[in-house]
Amino acid sequence: MHKSKLSGFIIDCQGDDLDGAANFWGHALAMPLRTMPPAEKDRYVRLEDRQHGLHIEVQIVGHPSRVHLDIETDDIEAEVQRLEKLGAKRVQAVSRWWVMEAPTGQRFCVVRADSPDFDRLATEWP
């Protein structure tokens, strides 16, 4: 058995102006900016979602700009296999997570559970 839940949203921004993109989205969504750990700070900025408790990040990417969601889980392989049975496809393993594609074409990521309320809010799967 494993658990999973919506973790949050990643705002993918094509280009190289991370600060500008983060400032825009932070102000647009009324969310304070939070610096990421040193290994990630050149590519990501966290937006603090005090209202919903979601994990929101602005990310610099090489592909066209879009928004994607993350599903967090306590067992990445089990969750990926569950989603594959629903029609999703593995696109790419990245560091500690999987980029997936829904049958309808949207990309999303399956990531390791990290939110403090994960155990309370996640759905348990057989």
For the chain, the structural domain boundaries read: 2-125
Contact 89, 101 (CB under 8 A): yes
Instruction: Yes or no: say if 114 and 37 are a contact pair by the CB < 8 Å rule.
Output: no
What is the pTM assigned to this prediction?
Answer: 0.87
Q: Provide mean pLDDT across the span 59-71.
A: 95
Angle at 101 between CA 97 and CA 93, to 5 degrees: 25
110-120 mean pLDDT? 93
- The class level of CATH for 2-125 reads alpha beta
pLDDT digits (tens, 9 = 90+) for 17-37: 999 999 999 999 999 999 899
Please tell me the distance from the alpha carbon of residue 3 to that of residue 1, in angstroms, as a whole number: 7
Any idea of the CA torsion for 13, 18, 21, 23, to the nearest 10 degrees? 160
d(Cα 12, Cα 91) in Å, to the nearest integer?
17
Q: pLDDT > 90: what percent of the chain?
A: 92
Provide the residue type at 95 as one letter.
Answer: S
Could you tell me the end-to-end alpha-carbon distance of the chain, in angstroms, rounded to an integer?
5
